[in-house]
Every structure is written in structure tokens, then in C-alpha cells.
Amino acid sequence: MPPLRALMTRRPMAVFVSTLMLAVPGRLHAQAAPASAAATGRADLATAYWRMDHLYAAADSTGRLTDSLRAQVNRTFDRATFSFFGGRFGPALASIDSALLQLSNGTGIALPSATARSTTSRFRGDERKTLTLAGGTPVPLRLLYDPSWRRGRAPVGLLLALHGAGGEPDMFIDAYGQGVIADLALANRLVLVSPATGPFVTSAEPFDSVVAMVRRLVPLDSSRVYVLGHSMGAGAAAQLAQQRPQQIAAVACLAGGRPVTVVGAPRLLFLGAALDPIIPAKNVRAAAEGSPTGRYEELPHEGHTLMVRRGVLRAVPWLVGARP
């Protein structure tokens, strides 16, 4: 379930789910949502998702999630995801509210206020930018790095994070585990770039443009360029590994992906979610097994979207530790 401004998407369930179930990125065709769907529920869904992400991260980080509760909450939340992609925002909101109550009652953690989300970033060096590709296509993105890196001589790495279908650039920094990837990126001296995934699905040009942009900002270590993606973003990440194997050190595919067979491919980590009804874990495993440099791991008791926090906590240390 996409958060925040992601809920302004106009892409329909049929396109996304057929692409996601195959776990292979392809050309996506935008289509307007029904007027009734566009008129109601989006702001409520955005707030509900943020509350869910906040509460799930709090419960997980304090060890209050039992296996059975984790599974129960994930199954309920994934029903919301299906409803969202189908434009059924009322049922989606009801499913999220149900998951919130399950989680709060099961952990004893109070429900976060609907007004608790701050619009001010907690990070220095957090910018929203628009990258314009050679053909004039705009790519909105979120850019995060320590400003002192611009003045330093020590090279730093790059972590490109690609969100899932229906998402938007704020997801990894404001949600997906309350922005845990941002903390990990800064701790590992990685510039974090979280763009709109769409342009990366069909072309490697946006990747080249991101790398060039980061080179203008900081001294970039070319041996420390990593890509991480979730769902549709995982498919795009795997495709970049196929297209730019010499420019990427390692790739992590969360709840998605495709086989990478190119000679000299970077190392790949495929993380499946055991309860995922959108891209079943067996599909992710098949992508890993079809990739000579692929490794597969499975997160138990997790579903398609709420798995991202645990996925990121596993994937980023693996990425920075991966060596040819």
C-alpha cells in the first residue's frame, strides 16, 4: 500500500498486478482511475498508511511482534493493497484500520495520532529535486546525503532505492519502516537517491543520469554503487543489473525481481516474503535461482509491503558487504 502522495496514482490494478505477479518489469500504460475513486479516500488512505508504518516499525523494533500477530497483520494489510489497486479506497481504508487495531491491541502500543506526522525532514541534506532526462522526461526524486561530504575528499558511495507500483519518491525516506534506509545509508557513507521508479522500468538512462548527478555533488566511489528495489522497483533493479553490470556493485530485490543472466553480473540478493499474495515468494526464489550470482532468502510471517522494513535492515548491510 503506497503512502503519502503515492495515493495520487492513476494506474489501474490490472496493469500493475499482472506485471507484479510475473516479477518482470515491462512497459506500463497509464490510465485514468474512475472519477469516484479519484474524488474520495486518498488523503485518508495516506494518513492511515503512515500510521500503520509508524506503528509496525515501533512494534518490530521493540520486539513486541509475535510470529502469529505479524502474520495476522500482514494478511489484513495485503487485503488493503489489493483493494487500493482496484480503486476500492473504502475497503482499503477499512482493512488498514483493522490491521492497526490488531497491531495496537496485540502489542499494547497506542495508536499514533493522525496528526503526528511532521512535514519537516529529520535529516540534514534532504532535498527534493527533478532530474530531466535527455528526451525531456522529468524524474522527481528525493536526495539525501551529509552536506559535509561535498567538502571532503574521501569518496562516498551511492544507494539508489526504487519504490513499488503506485508509489512515489518519498516512500523510502518517510515510510517503508519510518525511513530506516536513510539512517543506514548515512551510517555507511552512501548518498541515498529515491526517484520515481517508472522511468527506470523501461530504460537505463535514468540510472546514468542519477550517477552523473551524484558525481557533480560528491566524490563518488564507483566501486560502491548499489541498487535496491521493492516490488516493481525490484524488477527495475534487476533489469539495471542486466543492463549496467559493470557500473553496479550489488543489487537487492525485495518482494520482486527477475533473473539476471548477463556475463559479469553484480551480486544479487532476492528477498521473498512468505505470505506475499501479490508476488509470491516462489516467484522471487525462481528469479534468484535463474541468476548465476543470485542469493535467495525468505522473510517468514511477512506480506508484500510491510516486509520492506525487515528487508531493508537485511539488504543494506548485505549490499555494502558484498564483494566480487
| Per-residue pLDDT tens digits for 112-122 | 987 777 667 77
In the predicted structure, residue 35 carries a pLDDT above the cut 80: no
In the predicted structure, residue 1 carries a pLDDT above the cut 70: no
Mean pLDDT score across all residues of the chain: 86
Percentage of the chain modeled with pLDDT above 90: 72
DSSP 8-state assignment for residue 238: H
In the predicted structure, residue 251 carries a pLDDT above the cut 80: yes
In the predicted structure, residue 39 carries a pLDDT above the cut 60: no
- Whole-angstrom distance, CA of residue 68 vs CA of residue 83: 23
pLDDT attached to residue 316: 98
In the predicted structure, residue 17 carries a pLDDT above the cut 60: no
In the predicted structure, residue 54 carries a pLDDT above the cut 90: yes
Tens of pLDDT along 169-196? Answer: 999 999 999 999 999 999 999 999 999 9
Structural Rg of the chain based on CA atoms: 18
What average pLDDT does this structure show over 140-162?
94
**Range ranked top by mean pLDDT from 24-28, 78-82, 285-289:** 285-289
Sign of the CA dihedral with 215 first, then 209, 294, and 236 last:
positive
- pLDDT-derived band of residue 37, with 50, 70 and 90 as boundaries? very low
Mean pLDDT check: name the lowest of 27-36, 62-71, 196-205, 273-282.
27-36
Contact in structure between 284 and 237 (CB atoms under 8 Å): no
Please give the residue that has the higher pLDDT: either 258 or 16. Answer: 258
What average pLDDT does this structure show over 256-260?
98
pLDDT attached to residue 32: 29
pLDDT attached to residue 85: 86
Q: Which residues contact 158 (CB under 8 A, 6 or more apart)?
A: 190, 191, 193, 210, 211, 214, 220, 224, 225, 226
pLDDT attached to residue 154: 92
Please tell me the pTM assigned to this model.
0.87
pLDDT attached to residue 2: 40
- pLDDT-derived band of residue 24, with 50, 70 and 90 as boundaries? very low
pLDDT attached to residue 113: 85
> For 13-26, b where at least 16 C-beta lie within 10 A, e where not — what string?
bebbbebbeebbbe
- pLDDT-derived band of residue 323, with 50, 70 and 90 as boundaries? low
pLDDT attached to residue 31: 28
pLDDT attached to residue 322: 64
In the predicted structure, residue 261 carries a pLDDT above the cut 70: yes
- For the record, the C-alpha cell of 263 comes out as 556475463
pLDDT attached to residue 292: 97
pLDDT attached to residue 162: 98
pLDDT attached to residue 311: 98
- Whole-angstrom distance, CA of residue 227 vs CA of residue 53: 23
- Torsion angle of the four alpha carbons 324, 319, 304, 63, in this order, in degrees rounded to the nearest 10: 130
Instruction: Identify the structural domains of the chain with CATH numbers, from first to last.
Output: 4-107 (no CATH), 126-321 (3.40.50.1820)
